[in-house]
Amino acid sequence: MTIQSMPVVGLEGVVAAETLLSHVDGEKGELVIAGARVADLAFAESFEAVTARLWSLASGTAHDAADLARDLGRARLDAHARMPAIFAVTDGMPIVDGFRAAAAAIHQHGTTRPEVALLGAMPVIAAGLVRRANGLDLVRPDPGLGQAADLLRMLRGEAATDSETAALNAYLITVSDHGMNASTFAGRVVASTGADLFMAVTAAYCALSGPLHGGAPEPVLNMLDDIGSVDRIESWIDDALKRGERLMGFGHRIYRVRDPRADVLKAAVEKLDRAGRDLGLAARVETYARKALATHKPDRKLDTNVEFYTAILLDALQIPRQAFTPVFAAARTAGWIGHAMEQQRKGRLLRPASVYIGDMPA
């Protein structure tokens, strides 16, 4: 087999596209979103402003942050009006599945631009499914608020504090885009066929939902709950690794050092005026997990990834764990849409090859 025809299992290192949207440097532990370091954006900008930057780069047309915030508010109201019809499809489904069905059902209607209709619908669907699952009435969106503040308000039925809103806003920005991750790639493949943004985002969400990608935070919280106290940390982690299990919230395809998003989200948790779970226990779990992973896989640098502090932050914001993946999607939709726009504008049909290893006919 020649080098050219050797398969790259898992597509590691394969370049699938050029992008203006974000850059991940796995050796330095650096994430640049739309030209700025994630740590410089997270507490300085609104999610709407970062989305406007991404979409301006992707589409080659300027998107104004204030206009986008206003249009997203209207799109949330539109989505709210559609929730009864959506519940007819999603009732009885777990939240993570209901979100997929609802995102697919939000398919283009009316005159709202598709990218705005989609991004505006995400917090409405996430909050709506959570409240429905708990037997609570829906909360009408407030179009004057930002996505972060309105998501928390629609989930809880009352306004969040400024520090909570700032923390969720920082989260939405931090995970808004991240290079050619699995869900973004899935979305770009779909967009490359000429399918529309709704199709691309639905496909991306399906890829996100797996436990190796955006489905990790719920198991992180389950792990922290199960460990429960400092004296159980070492035995719990050692036993899990002996059983061949992966520690959720650790390891990454690209980062060989700590995921820079973990630091941003840890800072967001620390800035909250209401503490969530025991941060001391979480920090000790993190420290021991990194040590144990270094022994377990000495040739593979496995460090904390974004999902460890995502779980702690979203839990501190009283977001139920079943909604973690939908809330992640509500943020990453900004990036998915940007990538789909970029793919449709500049890309070619994505159609890789495979190496046939089966029998040939006689």
Stretch that binds ligand ACO, among 44-52, 190-198, 227-235, 293-301 (CB under 6 A): 293-301
Q: Which residue number, 75 or 306, has a Cβ lying nearer to ligand ACO? A: 306
Query: 31 forms bridges with which residues in the sheet?
Result: 24
The residue count for binding ligand ACO (CB under 6 A) is 20
212 near ligand ACO, rule: CB under 6 A: yes
CB of 39 to ligand ACO, least distance (A): 17
Residue nearest to ligand ACO (CB): 251
Measured from the CB atom, is 69 or 220 closer to ligand ACO?
A: 220
Say whether 107 is catalytic: no
Residue 201 one-letter amino acid? V
Which residues between 260 and 289 bind ligand ACO (CB under 6 A)? Answer: none
Smaller CB distance to ligand ACO: residue 116 or 216? 216
Give the shortest CB-269-to-ligand ACO separation in angstroms: 17
- Backbone φ, ψ for residue 103 (5° rounding): -60, -40
Q: Binding residue for ligand ACO (CB under 6 A) from 249, 260, 338, 347?
A: 249
Residue 180 DSSP one-character state = B
Given 28, 140, 297, 345, the residue binding ligand ACO (CB under 6 A): 297
Of 31, 306, 312, 331, which one interacts with ligand ACO (CB under 6 A)? Answer: 306
Q: How far is the CB of 119 from ligand ACO (least distance, A)?
A: 19
The CB-of-347 to ligand ACO minimum distance in angstroms stands at 23
Nearest to ligand ACO of 179, 214 (CB atom): 214
Tell me the angle at which helices 65-90 and 114-133 cross, rounded to the nearest 10 degrees: 50
Q: Which residues partner with 23 through β-bridges?
A: 32
Q: Which of 63, 80, 178, 252 is catalytic?
A: 252
Closest separation in Å from C-beta 297 to ligand ACO: 4
**One residue of 113, 253, 284, 321 binding ligand ACO per CB under 6 A:** 253
CB atoms within 10 A of CB 350: 15
Cβ burial of 288 (10 Å; 0-12, 13-18, 19+) is: middle
Pick from 1, 295, 345, 307: which is nearest to 171 by CA? Answer: 307
Backbone angles phi, psi at 74, to 5 degrees: -65, -40
Question: Which one among 246, 290, 301, 321 touches ligand ACO, defined by CB under 6 A?
Answer: 246
Footprint on residues 105-144 left by ligand ACO (CB under 6 A) = none
Active site annotation includes 307: yes
Please state, as a whole number, how many other Cβ atoms lie within 10 Å of the Cβ of residue 2.
5
Element (H, E) at 33: strand 30-33
Q: Please state the closest distance from residue 216 (CB atom) to ligand ACO, in A.
A: 4
**Residue type at 35 in one-letter notation:** G
Alpha-carbon distances, residue 30 vs 258, 281, 313 (angstroms): 9, 27, 21
Tokens of 77: 């109201």
Residue 214's nearest CA partner among 249, 244, 240 is: 249
Identify the H or E element spanning 32. strand 30-33
Query: Site for ligand ACO (CB under 6 A): which residue of 274, 300, 345, 346?
Result: 300
- Please spell the DSSP secondary structure of 313-345, one letter per residue: HHHHTT--GGGHHHHHHHHHHHHHHHHHHHHHH
Choose which of 70, 113, 213, 290 interacts with ligand ACO (CB under 6 A). Answer: 213
Query: Across the beta sheet with 22-25, what order do the strands follow?
Result: 22-25, 30-33, 36-37
Query: Catalytic residues, which ones?
Result: 252, 307
* Residue ranges in contact with ligand ACO by CB under 6 A: 10, 212-214, 216, 246-253, 293, 297, 300, 302, 305-307
